[in-house]
Amino acid sequence: MYTEDELASAVAAGVLSEEAASRFRQHVATLRRTAAVDEEQVRLLTGFNDVFVVIASGLLLGAVYWMGLGIAAWAGPLLMGLIAWGLAEFFTRRRRMALPSVALLLAFTAGASGAVFAVQGWTPLVAGVAAVACWIHWTRFRVPITIAVGVGSAVACLVSTLTVITPAASNWVSAMVLLAGLATFGLAMSWDSLDKQRVTSRSDVAFWLHLLAAPMVVHPIFSEIGLFDSEQSTSTAVVVIGIYIAISVVSLVVDRRALMVSSLAYVGYAFIIILQQYGTVSLAFAATALTLGSALLLLSAFWNVCRAGALRLFPTRIRTYLPGLH
């Protein structure tokens, strides 16, 4: 199994011509009957050895952590972070293994922030250290998920700092998270615009940013319209479904499914509320799962057709920044 980055590396090394690599991508797309750009590929496994390395690394890091705790509360996470960095020098920088790279990044970030938490448990400081740790890790290893983890940590640092400095800001947490989510979505789109064909690691960076932005945008909206109140009305559920349809259109336009997936639990809950209002309590969950599952499978099967219709809603000037139809 060859990744797009490895194909690009082969082209850069002169092993393959750009034309040959392009023909290979088209051949694979033909076999799958869909273009790679629409597959939204996520490079998590290069082989089962990835799983093997993650398990072994987890055992080693867990042992180092518990042994370090015997020295001091901060020593356990600090040693874990240092060992995770050392392992990344081999498995990430040299071997370019996908899943271990993600696990070792998270271990390094958790180790750095955990050591600070053991010394000074001030939430903004801990989140800030996590963001800085991600930046340091990115400059060395360039693991795609690093940007998303760093942005999430930075947002947590900013929001928690504002609530500590200004207690009244606690009333605006949802609004701040929503704005941060929209900003993260914009950042994800900027990374997507650098690789509209989605053949490099920039696309992976964008994927993780979209995955982070989705719940940051969706949860505050549904929370503010009262979906989680003790008593929900049918009108609230209908509004939730309407918002989900709008979110689905956005997902189609940007050719990213993260927004739809992150909203799925909320719209499922809304469907159950509507069915219960009409007395079908016993079948509410099954009917909801059947409806949503069928709709999503149809959408997946006819993704290009639906996307073509959604793109027509936007002017040509905007469509030039989006992945094209294939």
- Does 213 map to a domain? yes
- Does 38 map to a domain? no
Distance between CA atoms of 147 and 153, rounded to whole angstroms? 10
- Does 248 map to a domain? yes
Tell me: do 189 and 69 sit in the same domain. yes
Q: How does pLDDT run across 113-152, given as a tens digit for each residue?
A: 999 999 988 889 999 999 999 999 999 999 999 999 999 9
Is the per-residue pLDDT at 99 higher than 60? yes
SS3 content of the chain, % helix, strand, coil (to 5): 75, 0, 25
Which residue in 190, 158, 192 sits closest to 172, CA to CA?
158
- Does 131 map to a domain? yes
Tell me: do 132 and 189 sit in the same domain. yes
Percent of the chain with pLDDT over 90: 43
Question: What is the pLDDT averaged over residues 184-205?
Answer: 88
Predicted local confidence at residue 280, as pLDDT: 62
* Average pLDDT of the residues of the chain: 85
Tell me: do 216 and 232 sit in the same domain. no
Question: What is the pLDDT averaged over residues 273-294?
Answer: 75
Q: What sign results for the dihedral spanned by CA atoms 187, 193, 195, 197?
A: positive
- Does 39 map to a domain? no
Tell me: do 117 and 215 sit in the same domain. yes
| Residue 2: band (very low, low, confident or very high) from pLDDT cuts 50, 70, 90 | low
Contact of 43 with 3, CB cutoff 8 Å: yes
Which residue in 60, 37, 46 sits closest to 195, CA to CA?
37
Question: What is the pLDDT averaged over residues 145-160?
Answer: 96
Which has more pLDDT, 269 or 280? 269
Tell me: do 4 and 147 sit in the same domain. no
Distance between CA atoms of 311 and 305, rounded to whole angstroms? 10
Q: How does pLDDT run across 7-55, given as a tens digit for each residue?
A: 666 666 666 666 666 666 666 655 555 555 556 677 787 788 999 999 9
* Domain that includes residue 314, residue range: 225-326
| Complete DSSP assignment for 82-136 | HHHHHHHHHHTTTT--HHHHHHHHHHHHHHHHHHHHHH---HHHHHHHHHHHHHH
Which residue in 261, 243, 242 sits closest to 299, CA to CA?
261
- Does 109 map to a domain? yes
